[in-house]
Amino acid sequence: MSGSDGWLRFARLVGRLKTLRRQGWIDRGVEEPESVADHSFRLALLAWLLARTRPDLDAERAAILALAHDVAEAIAGDRTPFDAALRAGAEREQLFRQRPIYDPESEARKTAAERAALAELTALLPEPAGAALVAAWEEYEAGQTAEARFVRQLDKLETVLQAFEYHARQPGLIIDSFVLGALDEVVDPVLRSLLERVIAEAPWHPPSGD
């Protein structure tokens, strides 16, 4: 495949993210849910801007990680921690009122599927570009660098922000799992403060016992 053919094929494939609706919102019955690209755009913009206020973070790297983190879903699709339970017939309301449960085997399958999808995508690109995209995705997945930890936590915060925006439109939506998961995982002081502000301004209360 020639260089121009590869770039165009890549562009068309990642363009699927503009219409791929995020599965978590579909599962909860959100009307007109956002796409994966919608989520990635706000996450990347927030990552770049917030990281610029931090001497311990590389803002450009943070933005790149945010842009890359869901790109494999263009081929692999969007999977959630609740997929297996839903397929098994779990009661949705009860399921969505609890913290996400990350099954190691399911997570390993998800990672493998996305890594294979990423390899298919980057095979269309010149080596330096493809390698850079793989490196960004792997860095985010590993969560070992300061930027990766920051963006992974910001990803949870952005999702909670979106959850409350949907909840304002559809008050009956059950968004507990998103909030409880973020409260467990967002520990960066700046992001934690923002998360607590979002929660405090919303008409939501944690389930009893939490």
Q: Residue 210: which of 181, 187, 170 has the closest Cα? A: 181
**Tokens describing residue 67:** 């842009």
pLDDT score, position 3: 77
Q: pLDDT over 70 for what percent of the chain?
A: 97
| CA pair distance 135, 145, nearest whole angstrom | 12
pLDDT tens-digit profile of 13-23?
999 999 999 99
Q: Which of 202, 158, 208, 192 is nearest to 178 (CA)?
A: 158
Domains belonging to the chain, first-starting first, are 3-144 (1.10.3210.10)
In the prediction, which pLDDT does 103 show? 86
Res 203: pLDDT: 81
pLDDT tens across 83-122, in order?
Answer: 989 999 999 999 999 999 888 988 999 999 999 999 999 9
Q: What is the pLDDT of residue 149?
A: 98
Whole-angstrom distance, CA of residue 179 vs CA of residue 175 = 7
Residue 123, both tokens:
């095979």
**Amino acid, res. 193:** S
